Amino acid sequence: MSLIDLRSDTVTKPTDEMRSAMASAEVGDDVYGEDPTVNKLERESAAATGHEAGLFVTSGTQGNLVALLTHCSRGDGAILGADSHIYIYEGGGLSAMGGILPLVADDKKGIISPANVASWCRPVNVHFAPARLLCVENTHNRAGGIAVSPEDFGATVDCARTNGLKIHLDGARVFNAAAAWGVDVKKFTAAVDSVQLCLSKGLGAPVGSMLCGSSDFIARARHWRKRLGGGLRQAGVIAAAGLIALKDMSRRLGEDHENAAMLSAILRSGGLTVEEVSKPTNMVYVQLGRSGPDSAELSRRCAARGVMFGVVSERRFRLVTHFNVTASDVGQAGKIILEEMKAS
């Protein structure tokens, strides 16, 4: 039985080209700044995102944490979406390590509204933690993998700037957002002070994320990365895969979006409630009704037939397309999920 793994795009395996680039990568000690492959990846990421400098980090979570620690001091406030990955899924790192207070705002539609950003920018007063930073996420994972439009993104970012905030973009899947809107990724990444992008999700590298920003910001971020134990040595071995992820894999994401659209259509036509998203990408979220199996039960049954997806809550589950699943896999997965729903 072949496995169709739709739990996440984090499950992607490195391509043959990545594996051979890794085997022959030129390396050096990156803590001394001497790994030529890491240095190249940092330069190319900075150029691709429209920033002065880049920093190779171990994961998206580390990239976001390093960014927050670099922008904020203890007791500062960071405006965060209530459904954002940083707030929900990163172990509270910003509070644990940085003493940063999350100023939580509604981001159900994928982006915090300008009015909501403004409402957290209160007058200087000893009672309030001052808002220093706005964090945005594009694509937005829990909001259905929505690609926030350049206009909505721009309006929120402009409001933050007017109010004197720094802006960090959790761009774990920002290339998916750019592909969905048919724009250069800089449309989103160059508008913010820092961006974290994952090489290890839809882009297929085995490990790693990039944090990009000004030279001064990245120099300070490098210090935080070291404090967090993220200074790696001959990291060129993994950066070599990251270079291919950045250059080649970012171009093919439209295919994953088409497969996700096909999967949504199959599940809808079989009567399932697929969440509507104004600009979908590679994620499909499904809500189950009161009767019938819950997400965990359905997931167990489908897994027994080789189809895996992510349980989000009792009645909500997520399927993510990526380059290790084909259109025919997606058709087969849709068929099995509908059969298991009917079998109940």
Q: What is the smallest separation between the CB atom of 292 and ligand TLP, expressed in angstroms?
A: 25
SS3 102: strand
Q: Exposed, middle or buried by CB within 10 Å (0-12, 13-18, 19+), for 89?
A: exposed
Q: What is d(CA 136, CA 117) in angstroms, rounded to the nearest whole number?
A: 11
Q: Does 60 bind ligand TLP (CB under 6 A)?
A: yes
Q: Does 198 bind ligand TLP (CB under 6 A)?
A: yes
Q: What is the smallest separation between the CB atom of 85 and ligand TLP, expressed in angstroms?
A: 4
Q: Which residue's CB is nearer to ligand TLP, number 78 or number 341?
A: 78
Q: What are the residue ranges of helices labelled H in the chain? A: 16-23, 36-49, 60-71, 85-89, 93-98, 114-120, 150-162, 174-181, 186-189, 215-227, 236-247, 253-269, 295-304, 327-342
When binding is defined by CB under 6 A, the residue of 51, 71, 85, 187 that contacts ligand TLP is: 85
| In contact, 172 and 60? CB cutoff 8 Å | yes
- Shortest Cβ contact with ligand TLP: which residue? 60
- Phi, psi of 290, rounded to the nearest 5 degrees: -65, -35
| Near ligand TLP in 201-260, by CB under 6 A | 209
| Near ligand TLP in 148-177, by CB under 6 A | 170, 172
Q: Which residue's CB is nearer to ligand TLP, number 13 or number 89?
A: 89
Return the bridge partners of 317, or none: 286, 311
Q: What is the smallest separation between the CB atom of 130 and ligand TLP, expressed in angstroms?
A: 25
Q: Does 137 bind ligand TLP (CB under 6 A)?
A: yes
Query: Which contiguous run of DSSP H or E holds residue 132?
Result: strand 131-137
Interface mask toward ligand TLP for 16-55; x: CB under 6 A? ----------------------------------------
Q: Which residue's CB is nearer to ligand TLP, number 108 or number 122?
A: 108
Q: Give the total of residues touching ligand TLP (CB under 6 A).
A: 14
Q: Which residue's CB is nearer to ligand TLP, number 42 or number 170?
A: 170
Q: What is d(CA 113, CA 67) in angstroms, rounded to the nearest whole number?
A: 22
Alpha carbon of residue 33 to chain centroid: 27
Q: What is d(CA 319, CA 281) in angstroms, rounded to the nearest whole number?
A: 11
User: What's the alpha-carbon Rg for the chain, to the nearest Å?
Assistant: 20
Q: Does 266 bind ligand TLP (CB under 6 A)?
A: no
Q: Does 83 bind ligand TLP (CB under 6 A)?
A: no
Q: Which residue's CB is nearer to ligand TLP, number 33 or number 91?
A: 91
Q: What is the smallest separation between the CB atom of 227 and ligand TLP, expressed in angstroms?
A: 18
Q: Which stretch binds ligand TLP (CB under 6 A): 56-64, 110-118, 185-193, 252-260?
A: 56-64
Return the bridge partners of 264, or none: none
| In contact, 194 and 68? CB cutoff 8 Å | no
When binding is defined by CB under 6 A, the residue of 59, 250, 264, 282 that contacts ligand TLP is: 59
User: For binding to ligand TLP (CB under 6 A), which residues are involved?
Assistant: 8, 10, 59-61, 85, 89, 137, 141, 170, 172, 198, 200, 209
